[in-house]
Amino acid sequence: MADVFDQMLTHIRKIIDAGLDADAVMRVLEILESPYVSKEILEKARLYSETLPKAEERPFTPEQRYLHFLWDAFDKLPLCLIVPFSIPFRRILAERLFARCGRALVVEENVRFNFGQFLSVGDNVFFNRNVFLDTKGGVEIGDAVGVAEDVRIFTHGHDEASHMTRSYAPVRIGSYAKIYAGATIMPGVTVGEQAIVASGAVVTHDVPPNMVAAGIPAKVIRERRSGGRSGEELEHIWLF
């Protein structure tokens, strides 16, 4: 069965490398065993992110639109549950959609972002299920970072006097950091290298390197218990 998946992925990669248009997307959807979507629908499609003000500054190219469409549509299909296929398929898309996609990216189901072109990801990064990345202000993630289930990262906000007034600030997560389940990272925050954000925390200020932050709002509660280890010695191995 692994050979079948490899053949499917090779075919998809060749189609995408040749350039994505509506016909190419239809061929990819056919390989994914998706319900039929007509060429006319694909050519007229506009995504929610394209209705946002940031899209006026940086409009999607047709290829970016189709890549975003394939990313989100894939999670509605049975193949999204099959790890030997789903993880490398998402990696194929990410390599073309993100500002940077390092090697060995692992992405589980229902990971959402609004502007892939503002997302930079290092090597050996893991996103678990149901992560939301508001990338409008830019999100930069270092190497070997783990982002657990239901994490939310925001990079924009609205003025209380006028909802139409928006502000943007990037979020940066240093290498070998861990963001545990249900945490929320607010705009402008930097999580330092090897830091840990505890489950359910709401982080409104920077977290220094090697520290653990917890609570609402999050506060630094202690140093990471690293046992004298650092970098690769911390064994951030997300999937065997």
Q: Which residues are tagged catalytic?
A: 158
Q: Are 140 and 100 in contact (CB under 8 A)?
A: no
CA distances in angstroms from 187 to 29, 106, 119, 134, listed in the order given: 36, 24, 14, 9
Distance (Å, whole) CA 175 – CA 143: 4
Contacts of 28 (CB under 8 A, 6+ apart): 12, 15, 16, 70
**C-alpha dihedral over 10, 16, 19, 25, to 10 degrees?**
120
Q: Are 169 and 188 in contact (CB under 8 A)?
A: yes
Q: Are 167 and 185 in contact (CB under 8 A)?
A: no
Q: Are 166 and 147 in contact (CB under 8 A)?
A: no
